[in-house]
């Protein structure tokens, strides 16, 4: 008996196209799966059963009339910092607990135009600030591979849900690794596109020069299919690139002949878990067997990326989150006659500890007397890091690194030590700083927990990522392994 909820996008699409299943049957199977396992994982802040069934019924009418697109009738989960019209968008924060956007994010509009079925919104670190989904104001999300472990963050709800077959695919956002790190932790595929490749209109801002929306899927083929739908110029987002978009499924070519891949030695950092090192060496050897030419390369400024990120991202967060003053929307502290006290208490009780920590870091870095010493210097080092990547990409088609230096850690293990938590993103942060695209694919296990391999390419060169990721995936079975939940 086929488990409909376990299908990939391309498998489900084929069955829908051949009318062997209906969108209502597929959606019903996913909703049943959600009701069975969601209480153990906590991946969703909202399950939109009524909306999903209406959208599925509508999709079936289109399919019956011969109008079917690759995502028609296929259930999706949306990270809860992506605006959905008439549907709560909370950013997993008390500040936006009752916020219902009057409009859809551009990516949601594109999914609706493709007749996708929205089954819910996923849990996340509050305002996308975190690496474990423990910073949600509502509840932590658990890793389906081990319920005592974190799923990564901040898109931990999206990654955990796809690993547990709670939807066929999901959308996340990535500011410093928030799609790729949880994808690596949950044994699924996660892509952070080139900055500006996917519209950010309707994405609740954290750090505007770093944020990017991207897909989390069960395999590389699905990732390419979702990218075909959500990518493209959007006049509503001034940072969205006005370039034509290729059909990414044409890049799913299973050979690596004549491709040059660099392995940056700085990413095999001190403190990296030995099992991760061994798994990555094995994955790199497999790429070589498949025809790629592999060389060790050096990116010496990489060691400054973490420090640069934790000046730039909090600075931008400080500016972006100033809008939550209790006056226009969101949580508002009312028990006072003083406007200034009301604003202060709104922020005090509306934001969680990690968000307040980053706002204070950013406000300090931007303050008079410290702007040049911190923010300006960080921008200059950011330029150096970008130039270093540009030079390496003159010789190499792609770079390969671990997605994370460790396997998923235990819930609560790093909550009291922000620095250790920040180090979880040491391999992913340079990608956001430079604006390049990167993908994480399943690459092995250690003690029953997943290990991800990250592949980076030059800007606007997602085709290379898909080709390498697809070739590796087809030659291994990691992506076919499912958690015992």
246, 385 in Cβ contact below 8 A? no
What are 23's two structure tokens?
């969108």
What is the C-alpha to C-alpha distance for residues 260 and 258, in angstroms, rounded to an integer?
Answer: 6
Burial of 325 (0-12, 13-18, 19+ CB in 10 A): middle
Coil, strand or helix at 444? strand
**Phi-psi sector, 283: left (phi>0), alpha (psi -120 to 50), beta:** alpha
What is the C-alpha to C-alpha distance for residues 167 and 145, in angstroms, rounded to an integer?
Answer: 17
- Reply yes or no on whether 424 is catalytic: no
Coil, strand or helix at 211? coil
From 22, 79, 131, 424, active-site residue: 79
From 178, 315, 404, 457, active-site residue: 178
Running DSSP on this structure, what letter comes out for residue 260?
E
Q: Dihedral through CA 181, CA 390, CA 206, CA 196, nearest 10?
A: -100
Coil, strand or helix at 212? strand
From 93, 106, 132, 154, active-site residue: 154
What is the number of residues in the chain?
485
**β-pairing verdict for 212-217 and 260-264:** unpaired
Q: Estimate the share of the chain in helix, then strand, then coil, as percent rounded to the nearest 5.
A: 45, 15, 40
- Reply yes or no on whether 173 is catalytic: no
- Reply yes or no on whether 178 is catalytic: yes
The H or E element that residue 443 is part of is strand 438-446
What are 161's two structure tokens?
């849900």
Place of tokens 């030695």: 265
**Among residues 395, 394, 404, 471, which one has the least CA distance to residue 431?**
404
Where does 85-154 have alpha helices with state H? Answer: 106-113
Residues that are catalytic: 79, 154, 178
């Amino acid at each position: 008996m086929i488990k409909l909820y376990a299908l990939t996008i391309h498998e489900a699409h084929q069955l829908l196209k051949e009318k062997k299943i209906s969108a209502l049957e597929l959606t019903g199977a996913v909703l049943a799966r959600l009701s069975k396992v969601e209480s153990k994982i906590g991946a969703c802040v909202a399950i939109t059963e009524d909306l999903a069934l209406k959208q599925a019924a509508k999709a079936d009418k289109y399919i019956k009339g011969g109008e079917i697109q690759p995502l028609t009738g296929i259930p999706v989960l949306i990270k809860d910092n992506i605006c959905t019209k008439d549907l709560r968008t909370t950013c997993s924060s008390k500040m936006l607990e009752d916020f219902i956007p009057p409009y859809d994010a551009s990516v949601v509009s594109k999914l609706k135009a493709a007749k996708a079925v929205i089954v819910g919104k996923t849990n996340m670190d509050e305002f996308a600030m975190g690496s474990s989904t423990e910073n949600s104001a509502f509840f932590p999300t658990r890793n389906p591979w081990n319920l005592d472990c974190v799923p990564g963050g901040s898109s931990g709800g999206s990654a955990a849900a796809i690993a547990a077959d709670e939807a066929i695919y999901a959308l996340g956002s990535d500011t410093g690794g928030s799609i790729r790190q949880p994808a690596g932790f949950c044994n699924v595929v996660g892509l952070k596109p080139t900055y500006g490749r996917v519209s950010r209109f309707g994405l609740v801002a954290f750090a505007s020069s770093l944020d990017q929306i991207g897909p989390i899927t069960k395999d590389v083929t699905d990732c390419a299919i979702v990218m075909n739908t959500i990518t493209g110029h959007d006049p509503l987002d001034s940072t969205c690139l006005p370039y034509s978009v290729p059909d990414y499924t044409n890049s799913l070519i299973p050979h690596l002949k004549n491709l040059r891949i660099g392995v940056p030695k700085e990413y095999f950092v001190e403190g990296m878990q030995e099992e991760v090192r061994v798994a990555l060496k094995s994955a790199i050897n497999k790429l070589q067997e498949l025809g790629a030419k592999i060389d060790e390369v050096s990116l010496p400024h990489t060691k400054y990326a973490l420090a640069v990120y934790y000046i730039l991202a909090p600075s931008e967060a400080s500016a972006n989150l100033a809008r939550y003053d209790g006056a226009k929307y969101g949580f508002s502290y009312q028990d006072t006659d003083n406007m200034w006290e009301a604003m202060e208490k709104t922020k005090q009780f509306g934001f969680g500890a990690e968000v307040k920590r980053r706002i204070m870091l950013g406000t300090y870095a931007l303050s008079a007397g410290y702007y040049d010493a911190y923010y300006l210097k960080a921008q200059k080092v950011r330029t150096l890091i970008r130039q270093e990547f540009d030079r390496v990409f003159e010789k190499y088609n792609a770079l390969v690194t671990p997605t994370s230096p460790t396997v998923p850690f235990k819930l609560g293990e790093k909550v009291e030590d922000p620095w250790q938590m920040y180090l979880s993103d040491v391999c992913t942060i340079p990608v956001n700083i430079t604006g390049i695209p990167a993908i994480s694919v399943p690459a092995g296990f250690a003690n029953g927990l997943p290990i991800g391999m990250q592949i980076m390419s030059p800007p606007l060169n997602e085709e290379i990522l898909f080709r390498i990721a697809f070739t590796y995936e087809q030659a291994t079975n990691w992506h076919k392994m499912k958690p015992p939940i």
